[in-house]
């Protein structure tokens, strides 16, 4: 028997897996009470806001893939809010800015995660809204054991909060005392906020009507009013090193709602893989698969240097195209058909050589020379860190705990409903708490560029090109898979590596998660201050010294991570006969899979 850090969970009733054990247990509890996967996922999502506040929050954002039982393909739920009406390039330039700060009020877009949960519950859930919110209210009101990383994040920013963001200091250091790792931590304001939402929702009868009332309270009622008043008055310090006022207002919130759309897909060695559109970075995984399908991965050691090298070089090419071509397709015609075409992949595949490339090599599609030149110009500038107050959503502890990250969850119920969701934004370290609400705003606008004519140019009503990227896939035998990970720019790198090991190595869900991981920071970071590290390759030491030295000899700028620190994958699957499986990463010792 192959040793794994945890068992691959199997059963037929239901599975729930996420980046925090409490959320996974809550999700399973909802399934046990007769709820379906959509109910369970939403309850998990709201709990994750409470127990991992440094990684996501209620005023953040979320793309989610859902697959109701009987549907042949998943649907994307877009919980990515848009830039406010006042978020113009001219306004930011008039503030003396060349980059959008990675924290503070200027970086805020319309909060999107809440409405994504609400429309999914309305259209596919089965339980009353109170059943969904009560677990989160419980942990916010009575307390939850504080993760060491949350305690460390708060301690590292306590002086800044006290001096610059007093509402955050009051929330995260109640009574002026720093919270301790493992001790119960409470956020009574957040509990009050959800109780008021429920109180207003329950003035009407019927599950769907109550959900609609909750949406109104959030986007047109007291929550929107609190945000409007706070942002209108506050002028607070951000990652630029100077104080700025925000531009989000209540009308921006009233004008936006979450939506459904079809995901993109490719076929790879008999598998079908689904990802979000180009407003996410999801197509990088699909482009990477297209590049790799012409290479002999079946003949490679999936923990060997040749595999790591070829996958890394493919990812560099795919992410160069991300930086050049991806953006909100509602605003710009994105050439996704060309980027995912066989001919384009064949041409690009020829660029993968025996040695690591240190060049930025976007594909040159006809009529898009200006986009290519802008991408190369951005990478050449390689903005280096100045102030880093809560900026970004990078890859966990091997950067800094003062930066944000993300959470992820996967759920499958006994009927075959499936959910894969990646909530993020609203990090405690990236934006001040809105008075009276117990929750901070998001900082997703930092992914826009402050120049005209690009798919990612800042513009009112436009979605930022997010890093958030849940996944679904179908195997040749009909088994269906939901999977994902936190990790900013690394999300689709780790997910790609994971999927390749399932496809080419036949590993089970937990074996694939336990295998050593790697990623590159060669391309432009999505997060302020938008660094570039040519040739970079981070590897876990589990690959072994010989593999690592071989990669160095191939020209990769190797950074060896601490053991068991790269990636936070979770996954769940359903076979055609109804057998369910689930797995979760041992890394950071937080994620857990539950099922029976």
The SS3 of residue 281 is coil
pLDDT at 389 over 80: no
pLDDT interval class at 404 (50, 70, 90): low
Q: Which residues contact 137 (CB under 8 A, 6 or more apart)?
A: 191, 194, 195
Confidence (pLDDT) at 157: 95
Q: Which residues contact 76 (CB under 8 A, 6 or more apart)?
A: 63, 64, 65, 260, 261, 262, 263, 276, 277
pLDDT at 44 over 80: yes
Q: Which residues pair with 75 in a beta bridge?
A: 66
- State how far the Cα of 222 lies from the Cα of 205, in Å rounded to an integer: 20
Percent of the chain with pLDDT over 70: 96
Tens digits of residue pLDDT in 550-576: 999 999 999 999 999 999 999 999 999
Taking the alpha carbons at both ends of the chain, their separation in whole angstroms is 21
- Tell me the pTM: 0.96
Tens digits of residue pLDDT in 430-450: 999 999 999 999 999 999 999
Record the tokens describing residue 363, joined without a space: 């594909």
**Cβ–Cβ under 8 Å, residues 48 and 147:** no
Reference 24, options 583, 409, 586; nearest CA is: 409
Q: How do 518-519 and 580-584 pair as beta strands?
A: unpaired
Tens digits of residue pLDDT in 221-265: 999 999 999 999 999 999 999 999 999 999 999 999 999 999 999
**Cβ–Cβ under 8 Å, residues 326 and 339:** no
- State how far the Cα of 124 lies from the Cα of 31, in Å rounded to an integer: 14
Q: Give the mean pLDDT of 504-520.
A: 98
**Cβ–Cβ under 8 Å, residues 50 and 190:** yes
Q: Cβ–Cβ contacts within 10 Å for residue 588, how many?
A: 19
The DSSP result for 174-228, as a single string, is GGG----TTSEE--HHHHHHHHHHHHHHTTS-SHHHHHHHHHHHHHTSHHHHHHH
Choose the weakest-confidence range: 1-5, 68-72, 98-102, 305-309: 1-5
- State how far the Cα of 564 lies from the Cα of 588, in Å rounded to an integer: 8
Percent of the chain with pLDDT over 90: 95
pLDDT at 395 over 50: no
Q: If DSSP states are collapsed to H, E and C, what string results for 537-592?
A: EEECHHHCHHHHHHHHHCCCEEEECCCCCCCCCEEEEECCCCCEEEEECCHHHCCE
Phi, psi of 488 (to 5 degrees): 55, -130
pLDDT interval class at 397 (50, 70, 90): very low
Q: Which residues of 234-254 are buried (b: 16+ CB within 10 A; e: fewer)?
A: bebbbbbeeebebbbbbebbe
The SS3 of residue 290 is helix
The DSSP result for 389-421, as a single string, is SS----SSTTT-TTS--B--EEEEETT--EEEE
Reference 146, options 135, 155, 133; nearest CA is: 155
**Cβ–Cβ under 8 Å, residues 450 and 97:** yes
Q: Which residues contact 362 (CB under 8 A, 6 or more apart)?
A: 320, 321, 323, 324, 325, 372, 375, 376
The third-level CATH classification (topology) of the domain covering 262-384+467-595 is: Serum Albumin; Chain A, Domain 1 (1.10.246)
Confidence (pLDDT) at 381: 85
Angle subtended by helix axes 342-349 and 283-292, to nearest 10: 70
Q: Which residues in the chain are classed under CATH 1.10.246.130?
A: 262-384+467-595
The DSSP result for 484-509, as a single string, is E---GGGHHHHHHHHHHHHHHH---H
Record the tokens describing residue 138, joined without a space: 């419980």
Q: Give the chain's length.
A: 596
Reference 271, options 541, 38, 524, 573; nearest CA is: 573
pLDDT at 388 over 50: no
Q: How many helices (H) and strands (E) does the chain have?
A: 19, 23
Q: Hunting for tokens 């309305």 — which residue is that? A: 122
pLDDT at 402 over 80: no
- State how far the Cα of 500 lies from the Cα of 463, in Å rounded to an integer: 30
- State how far the Cα of 559 lies from the Cα of 536, in Å rounded to an integer: 7
Q: Give the mean pLDDT of 542-547.
A: 98
pLDDT interval class at 325 (50, 70, 90): very high
pLDDT interval class at 405 (50, 70, 90): confident
Tens digits of residue pLDDT in 355-371: 999 999 999 999 999 99
Tens digits of residue pLDDT in 9-40: 999 999 999 999 999 999 999 999 999 999 99
Tens digits of residue pLDDT in 447-506: 999 999 999 999 999 999 999 999 999 999 999 999 999 999 999 999 999 999 999 999
pLDDT interval class at 403 (50, 70, 90): low
**Cβ–Cβ under 8 Å, residues 532 and 523:** yes
Record the tokens describing residue 216, joined without a space: 């109104």
> In this structure, what is the dihedral angle of CA atoms 91, 97, 99, 104, given to the nearest 10 degrees?
-80
Residue 552: Cβ-neighbour burial (10 angstroms; 0-12, 13-18, 19+): middle
Reference 270, options 473, 496, 494; nearest CA is: 473
pLDDT interval class at 384 (50, 70, 90): low
pLDDT at 400 over 50: no
Q: Give the mean pLDDT of 97-120.
A: 97
pLDDT at 383 over 60: no
**Cβ–Cβ under 8 Å, residues 446 and 101:** yes
Confidence (pLDDT) at 382: 72
pLDDT at 61 over 70: yes
Q: Hunting for tokens 């030295």 — which residue is that? A: 549
pLDDT at 391 over 90: no
**Cβ–Cβ under 8 Å, residues 458 and 450:** yes
């Amino acid at each position: 028997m192959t040793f794994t850090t945890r068992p691959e969970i199997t059963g037929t009733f239901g599975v729930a897996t996420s980046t925090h054990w409490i959320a996974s247990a809550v999700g399973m509890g909802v399934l046990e009470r007769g709820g379906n996967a959509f109910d369970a996922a939403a309850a998990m999502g709201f709990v994750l806001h409470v127990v991992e506040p440094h990684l996501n929050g209620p005023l953040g954002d979320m793309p989610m893939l859902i697959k109701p039982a009987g549907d042949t393909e998943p649907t994307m739920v877009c919980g990515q809010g848009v830039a406010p009406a006042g978020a113009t390039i001219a306004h930011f330039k008039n503030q003396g800015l060349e980059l959008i700060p990675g924290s503070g009020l200027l970086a805020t877009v319309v909060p999107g995660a809440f409405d994504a949960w609400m429309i999914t519950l309305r259209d596919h859930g089965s339980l009353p809204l109170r059943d969904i919110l009560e677990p989160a209210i419980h942990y916010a009101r009575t307390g939850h054991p504080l993760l060491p990383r949350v305690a460390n994040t708060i301690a590292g920013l306590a002086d800044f909060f006290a001096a610059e963001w007093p509402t955050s200091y009051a929330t995260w250091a109640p009574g002026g005392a720093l919270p301790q790792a493992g001790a119960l931590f409470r956020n009574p304001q957040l509990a009050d906020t959800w109780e008021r939402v429920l109180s207003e929702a329950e003035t009407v009868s019927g599950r769907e009507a109550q959900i609609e009332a909750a949406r109104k309270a959030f986007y047109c009622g007291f929550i929107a009013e609190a945000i409007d008043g706070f942002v209108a008055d506050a002028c607070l310090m951000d990652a630029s090193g100077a104080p700025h006022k925000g531009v989000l207002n209540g009308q921006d919130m009233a004008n936006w709602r979450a939506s459904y759309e079809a995901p993109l897909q490719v076929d790879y060695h008999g598998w079908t893989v689904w990802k979000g559109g180009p407003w996410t970075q999801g197509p990088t995984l699909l482009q990477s698969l297209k590049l790799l399908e012409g290479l002999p991965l079946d003949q490679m050691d999936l923990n060997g240097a040749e595999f790591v090298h070829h996958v890394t070089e493919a990812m560099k090419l795919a992410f160069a195209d991300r930086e050049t071509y991806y953006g909100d397709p509602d605003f710009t015609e994105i050439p996704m058909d060309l980027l995912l075409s066989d001919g384009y992949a064949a041409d690009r595949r020829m660029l993968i050589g025996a040695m690591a490339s240190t060049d930025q090599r976007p594909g040159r599609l006809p009529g898009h020379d200006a986009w290519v030149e802008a991408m190369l110009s951005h990478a050449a500038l390689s903005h280096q860190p100045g102030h880093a107050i809560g900026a970004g959503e990078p890859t966990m502890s091997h950067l800094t705990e003062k930066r944000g990250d993300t959470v992820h969850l996967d759920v499958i119920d006994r009927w075959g409903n499936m959910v894969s969701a990646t909530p993020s934004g609203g990090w405690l370290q990236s934006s001040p708490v809105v008075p009276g609400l117990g929750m901070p705003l998001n900082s997703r606008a930092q992914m826009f560029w402050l120049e005209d004519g690009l798919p990612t140019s800042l513009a009112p009503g436009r979605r930022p090109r997010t890093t958030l990227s849940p996944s679904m896939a179908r195997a040749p035998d009909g088994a269906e898979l939901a999977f994902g990970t936190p990790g900013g720019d690394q999300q689709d790198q780790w997910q790609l590596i994971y999927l390749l090991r399932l496809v080419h190595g036949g590993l089970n869900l937990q074996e694939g998660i336990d295998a050593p991981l790697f990623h590159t920071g060669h391309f432009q970071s999505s997060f302020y201050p938008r660094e570039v590290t040519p040739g970079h390759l981070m590897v876990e030491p589990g690959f072994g010294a010989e593999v690592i030295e071989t990669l160095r000899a191939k020209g990769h700028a190797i950074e060896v991570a601490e053991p068991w620190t790269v990636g936070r994958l979770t996954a769940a699957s359903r076979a055609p006969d109804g057998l369910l499986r689930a797995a979760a990463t041992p890394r950071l010792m937080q994620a857990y899979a539950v099922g029976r």
